[in-house]
Amino acid sequence: MALIRERRQLNLSLPLPEPSERRPRFTLPLPPAAAAATTSVATNNCSSSAISAADLERLKVLGHGNGGTVYKVRHKRTSTNYALKIVKGDSDPTVRRQLYREMEILRRTDSPYVVHCNATFEKPTGDIWILMEYMNCGTLETLLKANGTFSEPQLAHVARQVLNGLNYLHSQKIIHRDIKPTNLLVNSDMEVKIADFGVSKMMCRTLDNCNSYVGTCAYMSPERFDPDTYGGNYNGYASDIWSLGLTLMELYMGHFPLLPPGQRPDWATLMCAICFGEPPTLPEGVSEEFRSFIECCLQKESGKRWTAAQLLTHPFVCKDPKSIRSRIH
Ligand code: ATP
Ligand code: MG
């Protein structure tokens, strides 16, 4: 990072991946295998005993993620719809490691604010399946594209639910590390649930200081981008809060807040914006509560950022949580 800072006037050119969509996506290498999850099936929340893989009928593809495909499937006997994430047996070991990690976390979690896992399967071919509750409105990005930007009451509703999810995860010593619009799922009851634990970290399993670059770097906090400057033993829980702040701003503004609308992101630009620039601020016209809430999330110094538990007491999310479903659809 120091080297890059010195050279940033030098027309530095980095080999960049071809962006596959408008959002910056840079999947970075996982830490060594120490973090790989066990494949043992010990579960309180997620068991393969009740549902057989043969009972599942694939209806359509819901999306492609990093290495896996998610299908909408129907249970033939009960006609219940589920989402089924499949990673092929011959896929990259890193992708498989991420899926094992996701399986282990989903088995351990049990919260209305975290997507529910119904079963996991490891096929003889090596394919891994994760059967999850089907969130029939897709992701927050789906809603943004379909309905346009979110209003403040809608965002307060989203923030309240994501914070409840993060508060739960953090109390379980789980850091998500990839909070972004495509990893927050929505259903028609306007429930918002945290999904996609591929790069999450269970702090309870090791004393690891969570000092490795994983996830999607566009939503990364300054201390994850540049641990040397911001302190090596940074607080990963606070990084999730930074990502939440950026996510809420994006849903309000309609574009990734660290870049002007339409600008093609690249790694160096993002790094300069996140590490050297001031935190992004909301445009004029927003309420004081919203502005203050975002400031509490987007403190560059992680120690100054509010925790999920503190943010749940912030006036922006504590206002009367009246039903907003009608205003969302
Ligand atoms: P990335 O690899 O960067 O995380 P992603 O979040 O799009 O990308 P996945 O988490 O694998 O990748 O999910 C792919 C898509 O499948 C999601 O964007 C979402 O549209 C859909 N999806 C995933 N899980 C569910 C679910 N439980 N219910 C409904 N749709 C889902
Ligand atoms: Mg995802």
Take atom 16 of ligand 1 and give the residue whose Cα is closest: 63
Q: Is 178 a catalytic residue?
A: yes
pLDDT tens digits, the chain, 329 residues: what are they? 444 444 343 333 333 333 333 333 333 333 222 233 323 333 335 544 578 888 999 999 999 876 689 999 999 999 999 999 998 877 778 777 777 878 888 888 999 999 999 998 988 888 889 899 999 999 999 999 999 999 999 999 999 999 999 999 999 999 998 899 999 999 999 999 999 887 665 554 332 333 344 446 788 888 887 777 766 566 789 999 999 999 999 999 999 999 888 877 788 888 888 888 899 999 999 999 999 999 999 999 999 999 999 999 999 999 755 544 434 43
The architecture of the domain spanning 31-133 is: 2-Layer Sandwich (3.30)
Site to probe by mutation for ligand 1, drawn from 58, 60, 70 as the one with most ligand atoms within 8 Å of Cβ, is 70
Locate 125 and state its tokens.
């071919």
Looking at the chain, the number of H-run helices and the number of E-run strands are 12, 9
DSSP-derived 3-state class of residue 218: helix
Is 85 a known ligand-binding residue? yes
**Angular region, 11: left φ>0, alpha ψ -120 to 50, beta rest:** left
Take atom 18 of ligand 1 and give the residue whose Cα is closest: 182
Pair 98, 155: CB distance under 8 Å: no
Predicted structure pTM score: 0.80
Domain residue extents for the chain: 31-133, 140-328
Site to probe by mutation for ligand 1, drawn from 102, 189, 196, 216 as the one with most ligand atoms within 8 Å of Cβ, is 196
Measured N-to-C along each axis, helices 140-147 and 236-253 cross at an angle, to the nearest 10 degrees, of 10
What's the full length of the chain, in residues?
A: 329
Highest CATH level, class, for 140-328: mainly alpha
CA-196 nearest atom, ligand 1: 10
Cα separations in angstroms, 219 against 8, 189, 269, 273, 284: 21, 27, 13, 11, 23
* Alpha helices by DSSP H, the chain: 2-7, 93-108, 140-147, 152-171, 222-225, 227-230, 236-253, 267-271, 288-297, 308-311, 315-318, 325-328
Query: What is the spatial distance between Cα 65 and Cα 62, in angstroms, rounded to a whole number?
Result: 10
Ligand 1 pocket, 106 CB below 6 A? no
Ligand 1 pocket, 179 CB below 6 A? no
Ligand 1 pocket, 67 CB below 6 A? no
CA-25 nearest atom, ligand 1: 3
